[in-house]
Structure 1
Amino acid sequence: MNTVELPALDGREPLGFLAALGVLRVLTEESGIPARLSFSGTTACAHLHSPLQTTGDIAEALAEVVRSIEVTAVLPGIGRGFPPASGLGKDPLRWPRQEYRQRAADIRRTHPLAADRWLPCLTTDLAVDAQGRGALSPFIAPSGQQKIRTFFEMPLKAVRDNPEHLHEALTRWSRIEGFTGEYLDHRVLRSTADDPEGRPGREAGVPGATWLATMALPLFRLTGDGQKVRSTLWHRLAGDNVMIWPLWKPALDTDAVRCLLEHPTLKPIDDQPTVSQFGWAALGVFSVHGAHRQRIAGRNFDGVLSPLPVHVR
C-alpha cells in the first residue's frame, strides 16, 4: 500500500469530503482496486492508501471507470435507461408512494444492479415529499428542470469531455463557469462582486470533484420515519436538516467507513449541531464538521450545501 495525499480534497468542506468518499468507493467497488481512506490531522486533506503511487495514477484509474460507462448511460456498471431519461416535466424516477413498490420491482427486472446499489440511496417510499412522492436523498436538491438523471449526467459529461478534471479534483480545483456543481458546494455561487468587470455572476463549479461526490451516494443509507426522510450523516435539528461528518486518522476501507459514518457516538446530543467527544479516541476521529442547505433568494429549491459550525463538548 502506498499513501498518497490528495491536497484538493479538504475534508472540512462538504464537497471535499464527499469527493474523497467517491474516490474510495469508485476505486474499490467499480475498479476492484483495494484502497483505504484517512485524513491528515494537520491539513484535513484526504490520504488514499492503495497500490497506486501518484495522483496521476489515481486520476487515470478514475478515468478508466468513466471510459467504461456506456455512451448513453450515466452510472458505472449500469446500462442505459437508469436513471430514466426525461425532458421537460416530471422526473420519471419520482413515483407516488402507492406506486413505489411496483415501479421498484420493474427496475429490478431491467437493471438489477441499479436496484441493489443505486435506487436505495436516491429515493425511498419510507418518506414522502409535499406531492406525496417517494422522498429524495438530502444530497440531491433539484433546481428548475433538474432531474435525478441530470444529477449524474452533467458531471459525467464534464469529465468525459475533459478527463483532466479528475486530476484537478485531487490536486488543484479549477472552477468552470456555468457548471452548477449540483449544488453540493456553496462556492459555486457567483455575484457581480466576483467578476472583475462587474458582470452578472454565473455559477462556477468543480466538475471532477462533483462527479466524485455523486459517486459516493451508495455509501449512505436512506430511510424514513413514514413522513420525513432520514439519511446517513443527516439530522433534523431545530427545524433544519444538518449534515455532520467526522474526519479520522486510521486508514479505513469502505465497510469500515460505512460503520463509522453511522456510529451513534457522532450523533448530535441536543437540538443544536453539538456532538460529544466521548469515544473519539477509540474510533480514530479527530474532528467533526457540518453543513446545511442555504436557500438562495428568488430560487425555489432546497438550496446550496454550505458549511455550518459544529460544537464539540
Structure 2
Amino acid sequence: MSAVVLPALDGREPLGFLAALGVLRVLADEGGVPARLSFSDRDATAVVHSDLADVDEIAGELRKVVASIGEGAVLPGVGAGFPPAAGVGQDPLRWPRETYRDHAVRLRESHPRAAEVWLPALTTDLAVDSQGRGAISPFIAPAGQQKLRTFFEKPLKAVRADPTHLRDALVRWRRVEGFTGEYLDHRVLRSSADDPRGRRGMEAGVPGATWLATMAIPMFRLGGDGRRVRSTLWQRTADDHVMIWPLWTPRLDVEAVRCLLEHPALRPVDEGPTMTATAWEPLGVFGVYSAHRRRLPGRTFEGVLSPNTVTIR
C-alpha cells in the first residue's frame, strides 16, 4: 500500500476530520478501492493507505464516483428520488413518528440501498423533534428552506460544476463565496471585516471538503432515547450537545473506524467534557478533539459547527 498524505485535511478541525472519513468511505464503499485511514501524530493531517499512488489518483477515484451519480440523483449508488425532491414547506423526508415505519417500508421497496445505507444515518423514529417528526442527525442543521435533499444536492452540484474542487479538498482549500458549507465549518462565516469590499453575510465554504463530509454520514449510528436524538461522536452535557472525535495512528478500514468511533474509552468522564488519555492510548489514539453547534445572532437554526474545548487528563 502507498501512504498518501492529504495536507488540507487537518483532523483537528471538524470539517477536516469529517472530510477525511468521507474520503475513506467513498473510496472503499462507493469506489471499491481497499483503503485505510490514519492521521499523522506530528501535524494531524489525514493519511490514506491504498494502492493509489498519489493525490491525483485519489482525486481521480473521487471524480469517478461523482460521475457515477445518475441524473436526478444526489447520492452514489442510489437512484433518483432519494432524498425526495423538496419544495417550499415541510421536508418530505421528515416523517411523523406515527407513520415513520410505513414510510420506511415503502422506501425499502423503491430505494433498497437508500433504506439500508442512508436512511438509518439521516433520521430516526427513536427520537422526535418539536413537531413530533422523526429526529435528524446532529450533523445536519437545516437553515431557512434547507431540506435533507439540499444538504447533499448543493455540494454535489458544486463539485460537478468544477471537479477541481475535489483535488483542492485534499491539498489546498479554496473558498467559494455564497457557498454555506452546510454549516459544517465555522470558518464559512464572514463579517464585513473579513470581506475586501466590506460586505456582510458573504459566507464562503469549501465545496469539495463539504461534499466529502456529507459522504461520511453513513458511518455514524443514529438512535435516540425516545425523546432526544443520539448519534455516534455526539455526547450530551448539562447544557450542550458536543461532538467528540479521536485521531489515530493505526491504519484502519471503514469497519475498524466505525468501531473506534463508538469505543467506550472515548466517552467523557464528566460534563466538562473531560477525557482520560490512559483509556484511549492503547487504541492508538493520540488526540481527542471537540466541536459543538454555535448559534448565530438573529438566526433560528441549530448553528454552525465550531471547535469546542475538551479537557484531557
Describe how 1:1-313 pairs up with structure 2 within 5 A: 1-313=1-313
Q: Which runs of 4+ in 1 moved over 3 A?
A: none
Shift of 1:197: 2.4
C-alpha separation between the residues in 2 aligned to 1:76 and 1:250?
28
Paired letter, 1:235: Q
Provide the aligned length of Structure 1 versus Structure 2: 313
Paired letter, 1:158: A
Q: Which stretch of the first structure deviates more once superposed, 197-206 or 164-173?
A: 197-206
Shift of 1:200: 2.0
Q: Tell me the alpha carbon deviations over residues 1-40 of structure 1, each in whole angstroms, 9 at most, x when there is no partner.
A: 0000000000000000000000000000001100000000
On the 8 A contact 1:195/1:201 being kept in 2, the answer is: no
- With normalisation by structure 2, the TM-score equals 0.99
C-alpha separation between the residues in 2 aligned to 1:305 and 1:59?
26
Helix, strand or coil: the match of 2:25?
A: helix
- With normalisation by structure 1, the TM-score equals 0.99
On the 8 A contact 1:121/1:217 being kept in 2, the answer is: yes
C-alpha separation between the residues in 1 aligned to 2:201 and 2:128?
35
Shift of 1:303: 0.2
On the 8 A contact 1:194/1:201 being kept in 2, the answer is: no
Shift of 1:184: 0.1
On the 8 A contact 1:238/1:272 being kept in 2, the answer is: no
C-alpha separation between the residues in 2 aligned to 1:265 and 1:192?
43
- From the superposition, tell whether residues 222 and 32 of structure 1 become closer, same or farther in structure 2 (CA, over 3 Å): same
Q: Percent identity among equivalent residues?
A: 68
Helix, strand or coil: the match of 1:278?
A: helix
Q: Tell me the alpha carbon deviations over residues 139-173 of structure 1, each in whole angstroms, 9 at most, x when there is no partner.
A: 00000000000000000000000000000000000
Shift of 1:87: 0.8
C-alpha separation between the residues in 2 aligned to 1:81 and 1:217?
18
C-alpha separation between the residues in 2 aligned to 1:200 and 1:10?
28
Paired letter, 1:57: E
Shift of 1:239: 1.9
C-alpha separation between the residues in 1 aligned to 2:113 and 2:14?
28
Shift of 1:278: 2.2
C-alpha separation between the residues in 1 aligned to 2:40 and 2:138?
27
C-alpha separation between the residues in 2 aligned to 1:157 and 1:270?
42
Paired letter, 2:161: D
